[in-house]
């Protein structure tokens, strides 16, 4: 059957860049990779703990990591940075201390910056979090998908495809439902496509959400 490749990895070097930029000798590579994962998890957990309860969306689109010999530069792209910055001005320093404690650095400096995204709902991660929030509140999945598509249309994208798989609406037989609006040319390498897969834990079981957004040629 049709083998599906991750659209981001497929486009590396043309329309897509890496989210982590660093160099390591082969024997240290795995350590660096695990360190990246730890940094990302730590930041996500921190944001989850410290956001205001009212909003279900964390609003992190992606976390980019650049490592030099003595410095680790982390850039967090957020749709709603107010959720993190509001309240205490020392939030970012606090986050920095948190991550440093997690990884116990001695000789490397950690630098965290937050960048705001102009159109947050044009980003698959933020959309997936939105849909996940809806599904947890037992909104019917079709309604959630349609709402998500409406939100992306406001962020003027050229096409979007949303797929939800698993025990939808708590049915006993798992199935896959998807919906597409506009065009999503997955075969075209020139086309810049944003993709994310996200897992939601509902009371019936785990659902998988996949979102492809066609930004532009």
Residue 184: CB partners within 8 Å, gap ≥ 6? Answer: 159, 160, 161, 193, 212, 214
Pair (126, 110) in one structural domain = no
Predicted pLDDT of residue 195: 93
3-state secondary structure of 151: helix
Q: What is the C-alpha separation between 187 and 138, in angstroms, rounded?
A: 35
Domain that holds residue 55: 11-116
Pair (90, 134) in one structural domain = no
What total number of domains does the chain contain?
Answer: 2
Cα angle, residue 101 at apex, residues 99 and 107 outer, rounded to 5°: 95
Which segments of 17-108 are extended strands (E)? Answer: 20-21, 60-67, 71-78
pLDDT averaged over every residue in the chain: 86
Whether residue 3 is contained in a domain is answered as no
Q: Which tokens belong to 129?
A: 């979090």
pTM for this entry: 0.84
Predicted pLDDT of residue 89: 63
Final residue of a structural domain among 99, 116, 133:
116
- For residues 48 and 67, the model is more confident at 67
Final residue of a structural domain among 62, 91, 116:
116
Q: Which tokens belong to 112?
A: 């965290």
Task: Convert the pLDDT of each residue in 75-94 to its tens digit.
Answer: 988 887 776 666 666 777 88
Pair (35, 81) in one structural domain = yes
CATH of the domain at 171: 3.30.1140.32
Q: What is the C-alpha separation between 24 and 134, in angstroms, rounded?
A: 41
Q: Report residue 157's pLDDT band, with 50, 70 and 90 as the boundaries.
A: confident
Q: Which of 23-27, 76-80, 190-194 has the lowest mean pLDDT?
A: 76-80
- For residues 1 and 148, the model is more confident at 148
Q: What is the C-alpha separation between 152 and 122, in angstroms, rounded?
A: 5
Predicted pLDDT of residue 85: 67
Whether residue 65 is contained in a domain is answered as yes
Pair (83, 107) in one structural domain = yes
**Stretch 88-102: mean pLDDT, rounded?**
79
Pair (107, 18) in one structural domain = yes
């Amino acid at each position: 059957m049709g083998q599906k490749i991750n659209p981001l990895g497929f486009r590396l070097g043309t329309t897509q860049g890496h989210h982590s930029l660093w160099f390591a000798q082969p024997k240290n590579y795995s350590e660096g990779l695990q360190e990246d994962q730890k940094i990302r998890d730590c930041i996500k957990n921190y944001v989850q703990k410290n956001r205001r309860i009212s909003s279900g969306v964390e609003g992190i689109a992606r976390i980019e990591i650049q490592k030099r010999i003595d410095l680790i530069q982390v850039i967090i792209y957020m749709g709603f940075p107010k959720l993190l910055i509001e309240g205490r001005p020392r939030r970012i320093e606090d986050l920095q201390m948190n991550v440093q404690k997690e990884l116990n650095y001695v000789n490397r400096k950690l630098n965290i910056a937050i960048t705001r995204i102009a159109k947050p709902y044009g980003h698959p991660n933020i959309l997936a979090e939105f849909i996940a929030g809806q599904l947890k509140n037992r909104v019917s999945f079709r309604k959630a998908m349609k709402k998500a598509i409406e939100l992306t249309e406001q962020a003027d994208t050229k096409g979007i495809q949303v797929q939800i798989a698993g025990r939808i609406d708590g049915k006993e037989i798992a199935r896959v439902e998807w919906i597409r609006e506009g065009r999503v040319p997955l075969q075209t390498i020139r086309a810049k496509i944003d993709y994310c897969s996200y897992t939601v834990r509902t009371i019936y079981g785990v659902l998988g959400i996949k979102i492809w957004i066609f930004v532009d040629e």
